[in-house]
Amino acid sequence: MMFDVLAGAGDVTLSFFYRPDGTLSDPGTVTVDVHDGNGVAVATGAATGGSGAAARTYVLAASVTTTPRWLRLRWKRAGSPQPYHDQWVEVVGSTLFGEADARARLVAGQTPLADTTLYPDELIAGYRLLITDMFEQRTGRAPIRRYCRSVLGGNGSYGLNPTDGWAVAFDGSRFHRPGRGTHINEILGATVNGSAVSVGDLAVLEDTFWRTDGTWTANTWETPGNVVVEWVYGQDPTWEARENGLRVLAQQAVPRNVDWNATGMTTPEGTTIRYTPLPLPVEEWLRSVDLRVPLA
């Protein structure tokens, strides 16, 4: 599972269990290597925590989560040449809602998410990222500030469209999110044929990457993806985005005795009670902020 981590929020502790065949097992001594989206090593260290089949933990230092980026954690067992677990962490510039917001959320007059045993922070973070991705897929815009790294083909002109390439990390992992071409607010870096381009020579105009010092060198059959650009896109969440995110969290994470698709129920006395399915307000909001171009 991928998790989101808020940039500048300090150290973050991550944990995992070893399940080689679906059964909790002792992984022995575990080390963790951390690389960014370009494959540059940014941290390494020993995983600590429990013994035996208990979870191993690793502290992701605040020094590597200061700005939006992708981070891959590779958890490795001593004496094994192959990693037993890869985990991607997305460092974001803002979050849809916080753990405290989720735990205080009223559901049928109660706060079930306040139970940290049934709903640990990792579970809430996983749901939050899932809901954030869903909102972006449904609207074509990011409800939070996110990082993107795309491999593109140079076109020999001054402008380059960010959606013409693939959002992909160094190891081929794809994060092909549709909002990456809208609300671009910062270019973090770029390379052409492996050589860095000064950020001062780059600008964003109409959500297009422009070079002010020349043109984007055209790609060839030998260099099909000769341009790599990293940037931050999206906006800080609005009140509506936060509220609807919490509404979906309560709907998906908290079980209830009535089926979510039910539109009514009949009491033992024969009285029919009808109600509107919960997702309706969310659907209306998603339609109202949809930036996607409708197909003819």
Query: What is the per-residue pLDDT for 284?
Result: 84
Q: Which structural domain range is residue 153 located in?
A: 146-233
Residue % of the chain over a pLDDT of 90: 68
Phi, psi of 252 (to 5 degrees): -85, -35
Please check the confidence at residue 296 and state whether its pLDDT lies above 50.
no
SS3 65: coil
Query: What are the Cα distances from residue 160, in Å, to 7, 10, 221, 240, 251?
Result: 28, 35, 18, 33, 41
Q: Residue 49 — pLDDT band, cuts 50, 70, 90? A: confident
**239, part of any domain:** no
| Calpha distance 25→45 (Å, rounded) | 21
Phi and psi (nearest 5°) for 182?
-125, 150
CA 168 to chain centre: 13
Assigned domain for 285 exists: no
Select the more confidently predicted residue: 268 or 174: 174
Quick check: 293 pLDDT over 80?
A: no
pLDDT surpasses 80 at 279? no
132 with 7, same domain?
yes
How many domains does the chain fold into?
Answer: 2
Look at residue 280 in the predicted model and tell me its pLDDT: 60
- Range list of H helices, 56-120: 99-103
293 in a structural domain: no
Residues 11 and 125 placed together within one structural domain of the fold: yes
Q: What pLDDT score does 245 carry? A: 95
What's the pLDDT tens digit per position in 95-151? 999 999 999 998 878 899 999 999 988 889 999 999 999 999 999 999 999 999 999
The average pLDDT across 173-188 equals 93
7/131 same-domain check? yes
Pairing of strands 272-274, 48-49: unpaired
Do 36 and 156 share a domain, yes or no? no
Does 17 reside within a domain? Answer: yes
The answer to whether 258 and 292 have CB atoms below 8 angstroms apart is no
Whichever domain contains 10, its CATH number is: 2.60.40.3580
Which pLDDT score, from 0 to 100, does residue 256 have? 65
Q: Report pLDDT digits (tens) over 223-276.
A: 999 999 999 999 999 999 999 999 999 888 887 666 656 666 677 887 776 655
pLDDT at residue 90, rounded to an integer? 95
User: pLDDT digits over 198-212, tens only?
Assistant: 999 999 998 899 999
* Range with the poorest average pLDDT among 72-76, 85-89, 106-110: 106-110
